[in-house]
A and B are shown apart, each in its own frame.
Chain A
Amino acid sequence: MLQQSSLLWVEKYRPKKIEDIIGNDEAKASFVEWLKNKRHTKKAVLLFGPPGTGKTTLVNAAAREFNFTIIEMNASDTRSEKAVNAVAKPATSYRALDAFSGDSNKTSGNMLFLDEVDGIAGNEDRGGVSAIIEIIEKSLVPLILAANDPDIDKLRPLKKDCMLIRFHQVRIPLIISLLQKICLLEHVKAEFEGLERIAQNCRGDVRSAINDLQNLSERNHTLTLQDTTLLSSRNRDISMDETLRQYFSAKSIAEVSSLLSYSSVEYDDFLLSVSDNLPRRYIDADELAKAYNYISIADVYRGRIGIENWHLLKYFFNELAQAAAVNPKSYKPFEFITPPIRIITLFWTKGKRTMLNAICSKIGSQCHVSVEVAKENIVPFVKMLLVKNRNHSLVAWFKFTPEEVDFITKLGRF
């Protein structure tokens, strides 16, 4: 464990003391102030800001300096109400035993740390946010939340109960001097311009800067400006459009294959975007059918890969490449549809689906059928009956709300 982490410079040089963390002095100060004096007025704190700016590091360093035991959950743990309660509640409602033993030098108690709270996903983590709010209210120990983007709607309720501390991108000179320090310790001979290039490219993300430095210099213990041309741009938004453009305009399978092996776009998103844009690329029905056949098989591979069969990834890419090269001659530039239609559609229609599902489960429980059967076979009749008579006795029998009656009568035919 120890040896493995020392291989990664990010871990090896992770600051152990608060004062060693570079940048964000104001944020560090207010966090320490909260931990020392203010946590009796506000029980929780939300650290937010771009990745790699020191949020997690600060929490760990502070815990060490002030003798707190950290109980950590992050986005990879499921954050359903049940899971939150199972892990977080005991930690917050009972102080660590040491706290009562009188030997208070040893520890100041527990500190609950929920990292990546914006990773809370809609379905998996049903009830996660409200459970967190409940914990904040009941907590006896300091509670720290960290997020990359504090503006996600789901987290809004949390803002009320938390003290907010904003983290900014770390400034370039600070990053350069840190990289220089690491180079010294790792015996890397580095050109200043090379380090500068890394620092500029990382967009204030110290973690990625250190990673880049390690990747580029570890083998030869040197770093030149020339080496940094290999740096992939860390601006992810631009890369999707650019990848799509190169993908659709490719002249040959070889060209697409090499593009796919170098591109850093997330391939689930990429697959969706390719599917969306395919009819703009291929106007001819035969070409479209042929290309879609490849995409469909690529999707089958994606399904079989699941979370473990990664050796199938090469076949997935092969099918994707074939879809781009059905007929290079027919290519004409076109404007891309992004982001994926599905994500937009599902976003805008979520309210409708939720309402329809609520209606169908009421019907289901009265008529002993599943939601699906209710939707397909019973809703159309219920709609006609209600259109004929809004006050039909079935409204009371199904316990429909007025909004639901409204919704049903206006429901289109499927």
Chain B
Amino acid sequence: MSAPDEAVMWVEKYRPKTLDEVVGLHDITESLKAFMRKPETMPHLMFAGVPGTGKTTLALVIAKMLYGANWKSLTLELNASDERGIDTVRDRIKTFSVYGPSRLANVPFALIILDECDQMTGPAQTALRRIMETSSRTSRFILICNQSSKIIEPIQSRCAIFRFSRLDRKAMVDHLHWIAQKEGVTLQPEAAERIVDYAEGDLRHAINALQTASAYKDGCVDEKVVSLVIGEASPMQVQKMIRKALYGDFNEARKTLYDLMGNFGFSGSEIIRQVQREIYKMSDLTPQQKADLSSVIGDYDYRLTQGANSDIQLSALLAQFGKFGKTIEDTYAPAK
């Protein structure tokens, strides 16, 4: 077992602190180094790409390179998915960017890191665009998002855009082995492969799985313990809800739906995203059936954005599953 005094989650403990430590993003780090040589030339940046590929890490590295130990007081770090409304933009971002600490400290500008900003509402983005314009003398923005297409054009055109693709398999495996070695954990090669399969290019996910697995079996991580941990960490309620709906047990399916919304506080759009993902994992559906179900989900995903009550839209989706399940009943002999 790892030392009892380990201070932090490994994702944070081994989050790179310099550009050279960053895994597998050579092209991007080289361009950033160029900016860092003459920070006042740095434009607004936009980092776009799938989760766990190093976007937030790079933003934090830049903050530390610009301001050293003081970085926290000169950086405003906001997660737009937590505070996505126009009020946040008006109050916090505007105040920081206009009256920011840049006037007090001997630095060219203050830094605003806006994570998950594709979750921002349209009006908030419009307000942000204006602030980016008026405050460009005092502050720089790093906008982080999964899909740059969800960001309005005028903002995109004001940023240097960097695209992050899924991390390379080998780089991830190597990185896991490196952490394991630092932590004094024996990581078996097949176990590392299994973690990387599971993480689907998300390094944060992989490191969390590794840390949890190593706590389970005296610092020796084999394939068995990895499977156990991954199994436990995977969502199952959504899968259960889908199957109930397909079997024709609508009421049970809807109960699970309200459990997810009530006890876990998942929003309608989070649940529908998980539904979509789980459908593609179901091995007992043919590709055609998955595609058909996907069309239905897409329709209701759209209605969800337009409608007033997400629970009604999701209930209606479950009812459609029930109808769909009837047409292919043989396929759904209750599993397990």
Contact = CB atoms under 8 A, between A and B. Distances in A.
Contacts of A304: 306
A375 B9 contact: no
B323 A271 contact: no
Interface stretch (A99-107, A161-169, A341-349): A341-349
A376 interface: yes
B128 interface: no
B211 interface: yes
A364 B311 CA distance: 26
Contact of B326 (A286, A296, A384): A286
Interface in A333-364: 341-342, 345-346, 348-349, 352-353, 356-357, 361, 364
Nearest to B84: A370
Nearest to B59: A368
B264 A356 contact: yes
Interface stretch (B151-159, B163-171, B247-255): B247-255
Interface string A249-282: 0000000000000000000100110010011000
A299 B211 CA distance: 45
Given A285-B322, A368-B60, A385-B212, A275 B312 contact: yes
Contacts of B264: 353, 356, 375, 414
A286 B323 contact: yes
Contacts of A5: none
Chain B binding surface SS class: helix
Contacts of A394: 8-9
A366 B319 contact: no
Contacts of A279: 250-251, 254, 319
For chain B, give the interface size range. 35 or more
A302 B307 CA distance: 6
Contacts of B312: 271-272, 275, 295-296, 299
Nearest to A279: B250
Interface in B147-201: none
Contact of B116 (A272, A348, A370): A370
Contact of A345 (B51, B261, B322): B261
Interface in B108-126: 115-116, 119
Interface in A376-404: 376-378, 380-381, 384-385, 388-389, 392-394, 397
B236 A413 contact: yes
B139 interface: no
A367 interface: yes
Interface string B205-232: 1001101100110000000000001001
A300 interface: yes
A368 B115 contact: yes
A348 B262 CA distance: 8
B8 A397 contact: yes
B261 to A, nearest CB: 7
A285 B315 CA distance: 13
A7 B200 CA distance: 69
A292 B296 CA distance: 13
Contacts of A389: 215
A109 B79 CA distance: 47
Interface in B62-78: 77
Given A366-B12, A384-B233, A414-B260, A376 B270 contact: yes
Contacts of B116: 370, 373
A274 to B, nearest CB: 9
Contacts of B204: 369, 377
Contacts of B229: 381, 384
A32 interface: no
A300 B303 contact: yes
A299 B233 contact: no
A286 B250 CA distance: 12
Interface string B305-336: 01111011101100110110110000000000
B265 A356 contact: yes
A122 interface: no
A385 B315 CA distance: 35
A345 B258 contact: yes
A373 B146 CA distance: 13
B11 to A, nearest CB: 6
Interface in A317-331: none
A288 B9 contact: no
B250 A349 contact: no
B313 A296 contact: yes
Given A272-B309, A381-B233, A353 B262 contact: yes
Nearest to B321: A289
A178 to B, nearest CB: 41
A279 B315 CA distance: 10
B27 interface: no
A233 interface: no
Contact of B309 (A285, A291, A302): A302
Nearest to A391: B4
A251 to B, nearest CB: 23
Candidate in A285, A286, A295, A297 with the most chain B CB atoms within 10 angstroms: A285
Contacts of A70: none
Contacts of B235: 376, 413-414
A275 B251 CA distance: 12
A293 B316 contact: yes
Contact of B81 (A288, A296, A372): A372
A292 B309 contact: no
A37 B289 CA distance: 78
B56 to A, nearest CB: 5
B135 interface: no
15 contacts: A268-B308, A279-B319, A289-B320, A292-B319, A297-B303, A299-B309, A342-B311, A346-B262, A367-B12, A373-B116, A376-B235, A381-B233, A384-B233, A389-B215, A413-B236
Interface of B: 4-9, 11-12, 51, 56, 60, 77, 79, 81-82, 115-116, 119, 204-205, 208-209, 211-212, 215-216, 229, 232-238, 248, 250-251, 254, 258, 260-267, 270, 300, 303, 306-309, 311-313, 315-316, 319-320, 322-323, 325-326
- Report, nearest first, the 4 A-B pairs whose CB atoms are least far apart: A289-B323, A349-B262, A296-B316, A292-B319
Given A279-B254, A286-B323, 8 more contacts: A293-B316, A293-B319, A302-B309, A341-B258, A346-B262, A370-B79, A393-B4, A414-B266
Interface of A: 268, 271-272, 275, 278-279, 285-286, 288-293, 295-297, 299-300, 302-304, 341-342, 345-346, 348-349, 352-353, 356-357, 361, 364, 366-373, 375-378, 380-381, 384-385, 388-389, 392-394, 397, 412-414
